[in-house]
Amino acid sequence: MKQSIKKLVSAFVVFAVASNHAVQSQELTLRQCLEKGLENNYSLRIVRNEQQMADNNANRANAGQLPTLSASAGYSGSLNNRSTTSREVVTADDRNFLDHTFSAGINAEWMVFDGFKMQADYKRLRELKLQSDTQTRIAVEDYIAELTAEYYNFVQQLIRRRNLNYAVRLSKERLRIVQERYIIGNNSRLDLQQAQVDFNADSAQSLKQNETLASSRIRLRRLMADSNIGDWLFVKDSAIVVNRSLDFDSLWIATQQHNSALINAAHNHALAEIDRKSIRSRDYPYVKLSAGYGYSLSKMAIGSTKRRQEWGADFGLTVGFKLFDGKRRSQVRNARLAVENAELEQQDLELSLYADLCDLWQAYENNRHLLALERQNLVSARENYYIAHERYLLGDLSGIEMREAQKSLLDAEERLLAALYSTKICEISLLQVSGGVTGYLN
């Protein structure tokens, strides 16, 4: 039994030494984790590429406002047979005569006016570019919130491991006392076995916590797109600090002004308006200019003309008006309904965000009150444990009662840690809704 205890203690010592050495080699702050992730995360890189594609598309050429210029060249030939009978009943037969035609030219077309459709298309491309920027911002904010939550989860698991290791040390001290008393006959073997069971249970829980900690570390490295997923990761923070300066009214004002989902809804409303204007452009005539310059060479195998060349410019102006389009009326009505739907969706989203903010604020406030209560409980639990420990040393307290005092202390630490993490998650969510989650980069 003593050998197994020594081996277990040695394992903890080795683990602690390795941890201290790694801490000295690398410690990351939340900002460093975020910067590394924002640079390397694959999903964000894909979103940025899509944003660049939208930027590339937002030009006047894609809106049809620039003329088109094309060059062409061609060759055609014909191999024919011909039999000709004149009025004097003279028949002339021509067999396998080959004619050649070569042509080349440059043509230009320019839609000068199409009922403001080109202007609407250009505005639509610009609006899509702005919407792509907003969608990139949404992806970045979601990523910052996710990584920040996992970062503090990792800190939480570190603190929990520290608490569990402390519980192991307490159980180890109790086991030592029971062993000494058992040797001199002051404790029964039952007390010794119970102390051993409690020590083993705390040790197993501490070892299990290492697995949970490793899982959180792997998720954190995965979010940062770090290829060294299996390596140790140590962070600068050793405690979860809650922001106590949040104010509901300020958060709601910031939500109305900076929430990315609301901004994206505004883009959708603007796009619906632009689409309606694009459909209404069919009520206007269109004007199109065209010009070209061409050259052709024809070679004839028979006939009075052996070869013919032509070259010159051509130009034209086309004015048109669509007199009837059976689909236009229904499309106009649908476009008007699409604009109305966009407005309703924007209002519904604003109401939904207000409800989410109220819900999160209520949870945030409750957790803050719970934090104050759990801090008081922890002070009482520690004092209770110290008193119990003194009484236990004097032999005035049973092992079961000592174990209860130790368990109460560990439970108080766990409840405080859970309240801290829950409050931090509420804080992250509130800042994400109000558009201020990027403040974690500062």
Write phi, then psi, for 89 (nearest 5 degrees): 60, 45
Give which of 42, 38, 140 is closest to 437, Cα–Cα: 140
| Residue 238 counted as domain residue | yes
Query: Where are the alpha helices (H) located in 224-259, listed in sequence order?
Result: 248-258
CATH number of the domain bearing residue 189:
1.20.1600.10
Calculate the alpha carbon distances from 67 to 72, 81, 213, 386, 393 in Å: 17, 45, 63, 87, 96
d(CA 67, CA 112): 9
Judge whether 31 and 441 are in contact, CB under 8 Å: yes
Q: Average pLDDT in the 182-189 region?
A: 81
Q: Which two tokens stand for residue 133?
A: 């920027």
pLDDT of residue 90: 57
What does the pLDDT look like over 54-64, one tens digit per residue?
999 888 888 88
Q: Quick one: average pLDDT of 149-175?
A: 95
Residue 128 has pLDDT above 50, yes or no: yes
| Tokens found for residue 397 | 């307290």
Provide the pLDDT for residue 145: 97
Q: Which of the pair, 91 or 417, is modelled with greater confidence?
A: 417
Q: Is the pLDDT of residue 147 over 80?
A: yes
The verdict on residue 366 lying in a domain is: yes
pLDDT at 164 over 90: yes
Task: Report the amino acid identity of residue 327.
Answer: K
Residue linked to tokens 């979103």: 47
Has residue 300 been placed in a domain? no
> What gap in Å lies between CA 142 and CA 138, rounded to an integer?
6
Q: Is the pLDDT of residue 19 over 60?
A: no
In a domain, 429, yes or no: yes
State the pLDDT at residue 305.
72
Q: Residue range 247-256: average pLDDT? A: 96
List Cβ neighbours of 108 (8 Å cut-off, separation of 6 or more). 67, 68, 69, 70, 290, 291, 292
The H or E element containing residue 113 is strand 91-113
Residue 78 has pLDDT above 90, yes or no: no
Q: What is the pLDDT of residue 88?
A: 65
Four-CA torsion 396, 401, 407, 410, nearest 10 degrees: -20
Q: How many helices (H) and strands (E) does the chain have?
A: 9, 4
Question: What confidence score (pLDDT) does residue 442 get?
Answer: 86
Contact call for residues 31 and 224 (beta carbons, < 8 A): no
The reply to whether 81 falls in a domain is no
Mean pLDDT, rounded, for 374-393: 93
Report the pLDDT averaged over residues 233-240: 92
pLDDT at 410 over 50: yes
User: Is residue 104, in this structure, part of any structural domain at all?
Assistant: no
Q: Minimum mean pLDDT among 2-16, 256-270, 354-368: which range?
A: 2-16
Give the distance from CA 294 to its chain's centroid: 55
Residue 91 pLDDT class (50, 70, 90 cuts): low
Q: Which residue, among 143, 283, 289, 280, has the nearest Cα to 222 in the 3D structure?
A: 143
| SS3 per-residue string spanning 321-390 | CCCCCCCHHHHHHHHHHHHHHHHHHHHHHHHHHHHHHHHHHHHHHHHHHHHHHHHHHHHHHHHHHHHHHH
Average pLDDT across the chain, whole number: 87
Residue that is written with structure tokens 């409050």 in the block = 423
Retrieve residue 379's tokens: 């002070």
CA atoms within 13 A on the CB side of 151: 27
Cα 357 from chain centre: 21
Band of the pLDDT at 251, cuts 50, 70, 90?
Answer: very high
What pLDDT is recorded for position 87? 65
Lowest mean pLDDT among 151-160, 261-270, 331-340: 331-340
Q: How many domains are there within the chain?
A: 1
Rounded Cα gap, residues 103 and 76, in angstroms: 9
Host domain of residue 429: 2-40+114-285+328-441
Higher pLDDT residue, 303 or 49?
49
What are the structure tokens assigned to 413, written together? 């630490």
Distance, in Å, from the CA atom of 204 to the CA atom of 197, rounded to the nearest integer, reads 10
pLDDT (0 to 100) of residue 89: 57
Q: What is the pLDDT of residue 26?
A: 67
Give CA–CA dist 438/141, Å, rounded. 7
Q: What is the mean pLDDT of residues 413-427?
A: 96
pLDDT at 10 over 60: no
- Model pLDDT, residue 97: 59
pTM over 0.75: yes
pLDDT tens-digit readout, 359-379: 999 999 999 999 999 999 999
Name the token pair of 142.
């979601």
Q: What is the pLDDT of residue 435?
A: 95
Q: Are 214 and 197 in contact (CB under 8 A)?
A: no
Q: How confident is the model at residue 177 (pLDDT cuts 50, 70, 90)?
A: confident
pLDDT band at residue 283 under the 50/70/90 scheme:
confident
In a domain, 140, yes or no: yes
Classify residue 136: in a domain, yes or no: yes
Query: Residue 7: is its pLDDT beyond 50?
Result: no
d(CA 285, CA 313): 27
- Interval 297-348: pLDDT, tens: 887 767 667 788 888 888 888 888 877 777 778 888 999 999 999 999 999 9
Confidence band, pLDDT 50/70/90 cuts, at residue 24: very low
User: According to the model, what pLDDT value does residue 20 have?
Assistant: 47
pLDDT at 18: 43
Q: pLDDT confidence of 196, banded at 50, 70, 90?
A: very high
Q: Could you tell me the two tokens for 432?
A: 């994400």
Q: What is the mean pLDDT of residues 263-282?
A: 91
